[in-house]
Amino acid sequence: MIQNQLNDYFAAHRQEMVDDICRLVRIDSVKGEPRPGMPFGAGPAAALEEALAMARDMGFAVKNWDGYVGTVDFGPGERQLDMLAHLDVVPVGDDWTVTAPFVPVEKDGMLYGRGTADDKGPAVAALYAMRAVKDLGIPLQKSVRLILGTDEESGSADIAHYYQREAEAPMTFSPDADFPVINIEKGRAHGEFTAKWEASEALPRLVSFHAGTRANVVPGLAEAVVTGVSAEIIHSAAQLVTAETGITFDLTEHATETKITAHGESAHGSLPADGNNALTGLLTLLCRLPLARDGAMERIHGLNELFPHGDWRGIAAGVDRHDDLSGDTTLACTVLHLEGCELTGEFDGRTAIGANQENTCDVLIAAMEARGMELVCRHRPEHHVPADAPIVTELLKCYEQYTGRKGEPLAIGGGTYVHNLKNGVAFGCAMPGVDNHLHGADEFAIVDDLILSAQMFAQAIVDLCG
């Protein structure tokens, strides 16, 4: 009966919900310079005020927590459920084709604009779920709170501020990921390494190496400059490496130097096997060339030993681990810069259940030190809510009821807003197999999926708080 009521309600309020999403998408809420009462800049603050005004007009009690987050409350008694969404967005480029990033457009059932899928659309879906339960007069025994953050994309200082002042609810879900339910988020090992050595004029030698911009992105491009070795020798070695790795190489000669550009395929750091790491491909090639084993090449050979191309699991580094629930540990060298007599770099590891500082970071620190590099490595434990926990089983039941699909809890290598919450999981709003172009050009949300998500959220409120 409740499902039929919700179907009718959202059919009647479809356009209104889309219009309210558009109200928020029109606000450029990329993080900016802090101002009084605006810890993350004017854009996130404006989006928060607009969302709270929207909720206030619907008849909800709202509160602005020092400009960090806003809350929307509904229901009697103690709080049972938090829904945790965010209103800040990632920066935009000039490569959008369907519409400008902050000019939302609905086309062929898809709503385009920055934040439509991540995470303003899902935030409004959660708000409308609360509104539906209220407007339909469905009785609750406990209350629900929508938490609207403003710094999820840049470190989540908003949520840290909030949870220093407020206890988490017994159950929390964030509509900022995928369906069915994500109950396991792998741990993370992030490392920053450096090295220095004495200058050498030995020939032939490596002059420079540059690859990667962010630790959590597998680079699709890498460049090195060598001197004293012919382009013919490089080309011959490059052909063999291309056949082995799929990485392609371009050579540019200038006087006695040759620039080698490696082309691979970029991927998210949590899914390195989805890409083809140009950085490690170029390491492979350099180690095949007759370059002098000076301080630079000693470190290059060391990195090639620890991060051989195609080893996504940290086997060579000695940190591979598998768990039947979370899957494999992944490890990718993603940033490397070498110039003169100095080297800096970063790697990104997503660790299976059972990994820790001692069996992951300490092992990598020792391996780097043995190869002449100093490493700072920090391990963040995994997040795991058991599959039989009520928050997981009830949300899976909602998903199966409204989609007709079988639902199984998921483990991911990435992290979500709920990583540090005891009973927090991610629930929606992306349906299986849908690529919403998150963080890219022409980001979109499928309107019918947002409507269906709102119905599931409303059912979850009733099931968990009723």
In the chain, where are the structural domains located? 2-186+384-465, 187-380
Q: 113: closest CA among 129, 96, 134?
A: 96
* 355 pLDDT more than 90: yes
* 439 pLDDT more than 90: no
* 219 pLDDT more than 80: yes
With cut-offs at 50, 70 and 90, classify the pLDDT of residue 1.
confident
Query: pLDDT, tens digit, for every residue of 187-213?
Result: 999 999 999 999 999 999 999 999 998
* Cβ partners under 8 Å of residue 113, min gap 6: 22, 25, 99, 101, 102, 103, 104, 105, 443, 444
CATH class of 187-380: alpha beta
Q: What is the pLDDT at residue 268?
A: 86
Q: What is the pLDDT at residue 374?
A: 98
Q: Given the DSSP bridges, would you call strands 143-149 and 409-412 parallel, antiparallel or unpaired? A: unpaired
With cut-offs at 50, 70 and 90, classify the pLDDT of residue 460.
very high
- Percent of the chain exceeding pLDDT 90 equals 93
Q: What is the pLDDT at residue 339?
A: 97
Count CB-CB contacts under 10 A for residue 240: 12
Q: What is the pLDDT at residue 42?
A: 98
The residue-averaged pLDDT of 172-184 equals: 97
Q: What is the pLDDT at residue 59?
A: 97
Q: What is the pLDDT at residue 66?
A: 96
Q: 44: closest CA among 25, 60, 31?
A: 31
With cut-offs at 50, 70 and 90, classify the pLDDT of residue 415.
confident
Give the bridge partners for 143, in sequence order.
Answer: 79
The residue-averaged pLDDT of 206-235 equals: 95
The set of catalytic residues is 88, 152
Query: pLDDT, tens digit, for every residue of 248-262?
Result: 999 999 989 999 999
Query: pLDDT, tens digit, for every residue of 70-128?
Result: 999 999 999 999 999 999 999 998 889 999 999 999 999 999 999 999 999 999 999 99
* 174 pLDDT more than 90: yes
Q: What is the pLDDT at residue 202?
A: 93
Query: pLDDT, tens digit, for every residue of 257-277?
Result: 999 999 999 988 999 999 999
Q: What is the pLDDT at residue 404?
A: 96
Give the single-character DSSP code of 229.
Answer: S
Note whether 207 and 386 are within 8 A (CB). no
* 13 pLDDT more than 80: yes
Q: What is the pLDDT at residue 400?
A: 97
Q: What is the pLDDT at residue 196?
A: 98
Mean pLDDT over the full length of the chain? 96
Q: What is the pLDDT at residue 216?
A: 87
CATH fit for domain 2-186+384-465, picks 1.10.8.100, 3.65.10.10, 3.40.630.10, 3.40.50.12780: 3.40.630.10
Q: What is the pLDDT at residue 283?
A: 98
Q: What is the pLDDT at residue 229?
A: 96
* 414 pLDDT more than 90: no
Q: What is the pLDDT at residue 9?
A: 98
HSE-CB of 130 using CA atoms within 13 angstroms: 27
Determine the Cα angle at 361 with ends 360 and 366, to 5°. 105
In 87-136, the DSSP E strands lie at 105-107, 110-112
The structure's pTM equals: 0.87
Q: What is the pLDDT at residue 89?
A: 95
Query: pLDDT, tens digit, for every residue of 322-338?
Result: 999 999 999 999 999 99
